[in-house]
Copies of this chain bind each other. A is one copy, B any other.
Amino acid sequence: MSLLVVGSIGTDDIETPFDKINDALGGSTTYISLAASYFTAPVSIVGVVGDDFNKEYIKMLEEHNVDLEGLQIVEGGKTFRYGCKYQYDLNVRDTLFTELNVFEHFNPVIPDKERKSSFVVLGNIAPALQINVLNQLYNPKFVVCDTMNFWIERTKEELIEVLKRVNVLIINDSEARLLSQEPNLIKAARMIRELGPEYLIIKKGEHGAMLFADNTIFSAPAYPMENIFDPTGAGDAFAGGFTGYLHKNQTLDFENMKRAVVYGSVMASFCVEKFSTKGLEDLSYLRIHDRFLEFRELTKFN
């Protein structure tokens, strides 16, 4: 069965202190599926775009064996557009505009052949849509979920419902603190796992990521980067690498989860080296594995 990815697809205008780009490929589904495509196939996406969506992007995704049957193309519709500007401190991003367009009334429809998918990634979309997706699936074995401050603040009740049905939640440290109302991350992790997810991954940007499970914690380092070109999509690339590796491997014990967290970190590190999805378009499994080994060297001691 394929790895099913549901989320946003669109085009981004991105400005960093170093450069800017317009109408670049964006959206959580895009980054997740590209990152996962280096580990497993097929990756099937469900999303919506307008008929203005650049055909080159379709072609690029297909070249990465991404199954686009679940991509709705709305005739006469305009694709979701997002614009942002990063400050000198790349951790601070100002949204310049958000044009939902066809995404405003997105109703994810899971193709029949995907309804038996056992591995599902719920990208960062409204919790109500995430529930809608889960309701269309027969009996998913492994559900990975992303969310963000926006949904934690505005639709917390729906989000809590989603969390009951999720195996892995991937969020960043500020989102973990917001969701749990607890400043200590270790306590926050325990409280969030009590809401449902067996596994919780807290991403900490330049400080790496932590994986929490029953009575055990794994701490992954960040890849030491002198130059981060564009942070957009790093979290989605992480989710794609993490889930792609597990989908390929089909083993869900903690040892394998740890490797998956590192592969997620590897894909995030490649993602931020170039604008938009460019850092994820021309990789090889060999380069990915080499960086995995670099991660191991970073923390290894006897």
Which residues of A line the B interface, CB within 8 A?
88-89, 183-187, 190, 204, 206-208, 210, 217-222, 224-228, 255, 258-259, 262, 296, 298-302
Contact A185 B208 (CB under 8 A): no
CA distance A255 to B302 in the complex (A): 8
Known contacts: A186-B226, A226-B186. The answer to whether A301 contacts B259 by CB under 8 A is yes
| A221 to B, closest residue via Cβ | B219
By a CB distance below 8 angstroms, the chain B residues around A298 are 217-219
| A262 to B, closest residue via Cβ | B301
Q: Of B89, B207, B225, which is within 8 A of A207 by CB? A: B207
Closest Cβ of chain B: how far from A251's Cβ, in Å? 13
Known contacts: A207-B204, A207-B208. The answer to whether A218 contacts B301 by CB under 8 A is yes
CA distance A220 to B221 in the complex (A): 8
| A216 to B, closest residue via Cβ | B297
Closest Cβ of chain B: how far from A297's Cβ, in Å? 8
By a CB distance below 8 angstroms, the chain B residues around A221 are 219, 221, 299
CA distance A164 to B221 in the complex (A): 30
Contact A186 B217 (CB under 8 A): no
By a CB distance below 8 angstroms, the chain B residues around A225 are 184, 186
By a CB distance below 8 angstroms, the chain B residues around A204 are 207
Contact A184 B255 (CB under 8 A): no
